[in-house]
Amino acid sequence: MTIQAELIDASHPYLDGRPKGHFINGRSAAALSGRTFDTHNPATGEVIAQLAEGDASDIDAAVTAARAAFEGPWGRWTPYQRQAFLFRVHELVDKHFDELARLETIDMGAPISRTSNFRNFILQAILFYSGQAVNISGETLRNSLPGTVTTFNIRAPVGVIGGIIPWNGPMIGQWWVLGGVLASGCTVVMKPAEDASLSVLRMAELLCEAGLPEGVVNVVTGYGSTAGASLARHPGVDRVAFTGSTETGRKIIEASTVNIKRLQLELGGKSPDIVFADADLDAAVPGAAMGVFSNSGQICYAGTRVFVQRTIQKEFVERVAAFGRALKVGNGLDPDTQLGPLISQKQLDRVLGYMNSAVGEGAVLSAGGERIGGGLAAGYFVQPTIYSDVRNDMRIAREEIFGPVMSVIPFDDLDEALHLANDTPYGLGSAVWTRDVSRVLKMANGIKAGTVWVNCYGMVDPSVGFGGIKMSGYGVKGGRHHLDAFLYQKTVYINDA
């Protein structure tokens, strides 16, 4: 095992190279099998820690702890107590945020400039959920029954949640699960991605430091095919919240039939970003570019299909190519870095495979297209890449690449743009760049996607939320309907006679 000491604080307990256990019932726990696996810094390829390799037995132990907590004192906490607790969490996360941001950068590669900017978003999310904790309400309902009968409904927590989150932003991703759990009174077993688990383990520690009872939040590390699959099919789990690929989402849907689990799924995307000829290119070029390149393209709703009106395609491609070439790619701990590495060798090979096939299908390489060598050769870096004259039926336009690869597809008029935008099995994000209000309304109403951005890309507010349709999944993250997935409706009939 090797640790690149100059790039990390070796005194941090998560970065000292020693094995890290699961977090079950309020304490660290080694895998019951005794097995561990390495986790790497994707910017250097170096091992930074060993994690417990969870399997069905570890999941079972975590679910047992979560069930006991749900049926124990935590189940009797009042809405005010849960809200006050989230206030304490807000202060503690703020206090430790620089540590969390650095840990995230080292663990999954995102530039420190990006992870540090998550502070306001995460703190805002925590306060949003604190408000939701005291706003769970039922209804008193009129009925047409004979005699005197009072009817009303109650919204009650569903129980134990299985939270399976991806590696592309676990510091934020975990709060789409934790927020609903802590506001509603549920408990949770989290299974972070094997490539990026450290910030999730650290957050669980902070929650307990803030006064969370043992067993309310548990974290089991391991592989999706073992620990994740066990969590999805565990009969003691009442609901699964999953973010990840559509392929894995299908398996979770199948696993949910064991006990008819409720599901919230955010799956893949191949989002259209549509630039009309009247758009302000000074805004649209960087906006569309970072809609693809942000987080090195590792965002579910990345706008990787960029539809550009044919009359401005040449100018747009020239400008966006120059923008991409000017981005600084490097180790995320460098404060000047704008794009970090891909998460792993496996993901690097996947992205390079798409790049190698694109030109063969007829796309024109306008910028990038190669792995970055030199001083970054040990990491998983690729150049921001732009292909022009792409057809909507090419692989790079149909399949989710999850890398910094833009496909520029020309169109002639609004109807063609709308048709091409919707010609995809996905429906997560979308955007329109134009100065024409009438065109905005037609596109916003016509695009089949869970989110439509206008003259911007990727803005998300936890109090507003977002979601997807078609093969991008179902359910919402954030907004006033988010908590619905953590609650069920219980109807009460009282015979007053």
Which residue type occupies 76? R
Whether 399 is a known active-site residue: answer: no
Tell me the pairing of strands 385-388 and 364-367. antiparallel
Rounded to whole angstroms, how far apart are CA atoms 19 and 15? Answer: 10
Which among 254, 266, 400, 456 is annotated as catalytic? Answer: 266
Q: How far apart are CA 251 and CA 360, in angstroms?
A: 33
Residue that is written with structure tokens 């993901």 in the block: 347
411, β-bridge pairs: 309
Whole-Å CA distances, 264 to 112, 217, 289: 30, 18, 30
Q: At what angle do helices 198-209 and 175-184 cross, to 10 degrees?
A: 30
Distance of CA 282 to the CA centre of its chain: 29
Distance CA 13, CA 410 (A): 51
- Nearest-angstrom CA–CA distance, 402 and 348: 10
Longest dimension (CA), the chain: 84
Please identify which of the residues 254, 300, 370, 456 carries the catalytic annotation.
Answer: 300
Could you tell me the two tokens for 305? 């299909």
Angle, alpha carbons 381-384-386 (nearest 5°): 140
CA angle 164, 166, 170 (to 5 degrees): 100
**Known catalytic residue: 266?**
yes
Just list the catalytic residues.
266, 300
